[in-house]
Structure 1
Amino acid sequence: MSNVEKHHLLTAKQMAEFAVNGFLKLDEIVPQELNEAAYKEQREYKGHGGQYWHESKVIRDIFELPQVKGAIQSFVGRSPIYDHSFMHIVRAKHLKGQIYHADSVIDTRPFGFDIQAFYFSHDAPDEMGPTLVLPGSHLRKVSNASIGRYKNIVGQKRLVSKAGSIGFLHHGIWHCAQPNFTDETRYVFKLRLRPGQEQRSLFNTDDYDSPEVREVFKKAYHPWCGDEARVNQIQTAKFWRYLCGDDKVDTSFEGALTRMGL
């Protein structure tokens, strides 16, 4: 992947939101003509969902857009490694949802991560059942469907999207597909990429320790964590050090990392 201009990289505030929540949705970043071409192709596609990336020029053109490449570079660097992809389809009136799961999290990396891009070629309103995620769950490592017994967790969020939006998800986030109550088939294309380099200082690090960014971390408390909310927030602060490439920046609650000599 060729390098992109700095203004296409994610900002420090955007990356902080990703660090806190485990996902970042960029709304309507793909031009409508490409969305229309992709949507038409997806409706007509007769192949296997796992081969769509290899057989579709339009989907590869979308991921070559500088604004999309800039986001990918911010997460996994200039030479990301293809892991897998799939075009997920939820038919009209399919009223059964998935169980909560994390995608194949058998991982010894303390803070490194794969990125999963979820591209919506068409509007995906709430009643169409766009992917459900649990913000802040990405640093709670679990094995795939071991969390399948959980349902309707406080703070969960559907990725309601307009055409041309892409959700970038940490590979460890808890998520599941939802029932489609509409008369239209829902399509979402998922691309998973592994980092080709250490994931430190890959985004636009200007202002990474600014008041605006610190304000994001002040809100880094997720109600589902209960009594462990501050523990989760400290993990998020450690994650931020890793992403920034600065092992001294401290966004933890009351400067806990610094007070502990870390």
Structure 2
Amino acid sequence: MTSATTAFEASGVSAQNLLNDDQVADFVINGYHIVEPQFPAEFHSQIYSDLEVLPTNPGDEINKAVPNIDEIYEHPAVRGALSSLLGADYSRAAHRHCHRNHPGTRSQVWHQDSLNIPTLDDGHGRVSDHVQSVLVMYYPQDVASNMGPTALIPGSHLFTAAGDRNASHGNFRDQMVAVVPAGSVLILHYDIWHAGTANTSDQVRYMVKYLFERE
């Protein structure tokens, strides 16, 4: 057993849930990875129902309004992927948000959630030799192509141009559109270019987003 494996298992992450070398390399190149943690279908249906009856969007307090959501991010498969990308001692940031994509919602412009700034002394910033932060998006319902799925540009976390130079572009080649089954978890490099697409269905598409960071 290697010292790295020992460190992961000491944090409660089993080696069988870690990403393999090819998966880590793919994330470094393309900037995203999809996990499908195993829960009963009723678990996701209940979360969807709980989100539907919220009177307002609780923002960072979404996990207090719907506590079961935290179970998604504590699932061994999700923890294993995050540990592989951020290290065994990664932390969950205070920022969380529930995105409601209602029927009739138009497509967003391409954007980054990061600030696209140079590397800082603490390792945060636009250019770094390791993955510093990731967005983790959970979808409690099946996402069809007409429900406003999240679109992203693989490899765009490596773009160096200022945000306003790319945001107005309407179409990039080789986009990935997250048409995924209920319960899917999409892990994105914090610098990746992404956008919510138009919802032309008759159903609200929910996505709950957490931010995780390397310690």
TM-score by length of 2: 0.83
Match of 1:71 in 2: 81
Equivalent position amino acid for 1:111 in 2 = D
Task: Quickly say closer, same or farther: Cα 1:41–1:138, change in 2 above 3 A.
Answer: same
Larger strand share, 1 or 2: 2
Checking the alignment, whether the CA contact within 8 Å between 2:37 and 2:75 is kept in structure 1 is no
State the shift of 1:92 in Å: 1.3
Q: What do residues 89-123 of structure 1 show as CA deviations (whole Å, max 9, x unaligned)?
A: 111122x1111111122241422321111111000
Name the CA distance, whole Å, in 2 between partners of 1:8 and 1:107.
33
Runs (5+) with no aligned partner, structure 1: 197-262
Structure index of larger Rg: 1
* Secondary structure of the structure 1 residue equivalent to 2:68: helix
Task: Quickly say closer, same or farther: Cα 1:11–1:92, change in 2 above 3 A.
Answer: same
Q: Does residue 111 of the first structure (1) align with residue 129 of the second (2)?
A: yes
Name the CA distance, whole Å, in 2 between partners of 1:129 and 1:13.
30
State the shift of 1:80 in Å: 2.2
Match of 2:91 in 1: 81
Name the CA distance, whole Å, in 2 between partners of 1:81 and 1:143.
28
Name the CA distance, whole Å, in 1 between partners of 2:162 and 2:96.
20
Name the CA distance, whole Å, in 2 between partners of 1:188 and 1:146.
27
Equivalent position amino acid for 2:96 in 1 = S
* Secondary structure of the structure 2 residue equivalent to 1:57: coil
Q: What do residues 28-77 of structure 1 show as CA deviations (whole Å, max 9, x unaligned)?
A: 64442321221111111224233202432201112111111111111212
Equivalent position to 2:67, from 57, 76, 91:
57
Checking the alignment, whether the CA contact within 8 Å between 1:102 and 1:145 is kept in structure 2 is no
The count of corresponding residues between Structure 1 and Structure 2 is: 195
Q: What is the aligned-residue identity percentage?
A: 29
Match of 1:23 in 2: 32
Larger helix share, 1 or 2: 1
Name the CA distance, whole Å, in 2 between partners of 1:5 and 1:141.
36
Task: Quickly say closer, same or farther: Cα 1:34–1:107, change in 2 above 3 A.
Answer: farther
Runs (5+) with no aligned partner, structure 2: 1-9, 120-126
* Secondary structure of the structure 2 residue equivalent to 1:126: coil
